[in-house]
């Protein structure tokens, strides 16, 4: 891991769309508060009803100087009929905007604006061979306390979304799983009165399968998780779910066919 205080974090979005001579890849920087999928639609000149699929999230860590590094999370979307073009559409020079083009900080909040907090997080729809779903419960003192949540959390500097998700699942539930299909990537913004900060998060949702489940138990100490457990789909209807869990489950049901 790389200490957060020496790493600048950036997010980019990339869309596979139709060009003059076939599929092309277009990219742009995701600014604070922007929804990645909406930005992808802008890149392709697509309306809100055009289906998109999230194909991949790629992490790059680049040294800017002896004391500074750049961590870039690159989100790749595609129109469903063009997804087979990935990754052959990547230019020879790599994904753009390049790390050098991302080095500059974006403008901060104005003098009348709240301080900002930006997060990039990875969450899992975690299942076992019996079709049960694994959830963790948020501890007191944390946003959403008492609700049942998807295992997952913030991606550390120098860590990719899959490694972060495996780590979080193990810490929060004691289970070792295989990270599989990417479900979707979205964003969430929370402002007062819900928060004292202007909080903007990008959420990555993936499927995780635990082939040999054990009794779920929290392994981290003094963390944001106080309980965890395996639940059948029928049992979920009686649980108070977090916003993240409701969003993730909804995307799983409504995403375009793959």
Q: What is the CATH number of the domain that holds 192?
A: 3.90.79.10
Residue 107 lies inside a defined structural domain of this protein = no
pLDDT in tens, 85-119: 999 999 988 999 999 899 999 888 888 888 899 99
What residues make up the domain containing 84? 4-102
- Comparing 228 with 193, which gets the higher pLDDT? 228
Query: Is 134 in the same domain as 169?
Result: yes
Query: Is 212 in the same domain as 189?
Result: yes
* Number of domains, the chain: 2
Contact 257, 53 (CB under 8 A): no
State pTM to two decimals: 0.91
Query: Is 96 in the same domain as 9?
Result: yes
Q: How far is CA 232 from CA 127, 131, 146, 222, 235, in A?
A: 10, 7, 19, 28, 5
Domain closes at, from 53, 72, 102: 102
Burial of 106 (0-12, 13-18, 19+ CB in 10 A): exposed
Residue 111 lies inside a defined structural domain of this protein = no
Query: Is 20 in the same domain as 89?
Result: yes
Query: Is 122 in the same domain as 246?
Result: yes
Q: What is the mean pLDDT of the chain?
A: 92
Residue 232 lies inside a defined structural domain of this protein = yes
Q: Count the neighbouring beta carbons within 10 Å of the beta carbon of residue 19.
A: 11
Mode of pairing for the β-strands spanning 198-209 and 178-190? antiparallel
Give the whole-angstrom CA distance, residue 127 versus residue 140.
26
Q: Count the neighbouring beta carbons within 10 Å of the beta carbon of residue 207.
A: 16
Query: Is 130 in the same domain as 245?
Result: yes
Q: Count the neighbouring beta carbons within 10 Å of the beta carbon of residue 231.
A: 16
């Amino acid at each position: 891991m790389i200490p957060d205080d020496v790493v600048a974090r950036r997010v980019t979005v990339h869309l596979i769309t139709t060009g003059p001579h076939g599929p092309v890849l277009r990219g742009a920087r995701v600014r604070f508060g922007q929804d990645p999928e909406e930005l992808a639609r802008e890149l392709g000149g697509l309306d809100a009803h055009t289906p998109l699929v999230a194909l991949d999230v790629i992490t790059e860590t680049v040294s800017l100087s002896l004391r500074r590094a750049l961590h870039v999370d690159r989100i790749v979307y595609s129109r469903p009929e063009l997804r087979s073009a990935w990754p052959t559409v990547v230019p020879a020079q790599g994904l753009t905007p390049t790390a050098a083009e991302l080095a500059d900080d974006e403008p901060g909040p104005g003098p009348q604006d709240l301080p900002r907090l930006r997060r990039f997080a990875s969450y899992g729809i975690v299942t076992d061979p019996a079709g049960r779903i694994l959830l963790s419960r948020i501890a007191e003192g944390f946003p959403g306390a008492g609700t049942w949540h998807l295992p997952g959390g913030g991606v550390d500097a120098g860590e990719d979304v899959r490694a972060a998700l495996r780590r979080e699942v193990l810490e929060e539930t004691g289970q070792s799983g295989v990270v599989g299909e990417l479900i979707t990537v979205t964003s969430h913004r929370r402002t007062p009165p819900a928060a004292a900060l202007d909080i903007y998060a990008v959420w990555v949702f993936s499927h995780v399968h635990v082939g040999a489940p054990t009794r779920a138990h929290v392994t981290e100490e003094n963390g944001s998780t106080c309980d965890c457990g395996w639940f059948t789909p029928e049992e979920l209807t009686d649980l108070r779910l977090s916003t993240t869990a409701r969003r993730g489950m909804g995307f799983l049901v409504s995403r375009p066919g793959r």
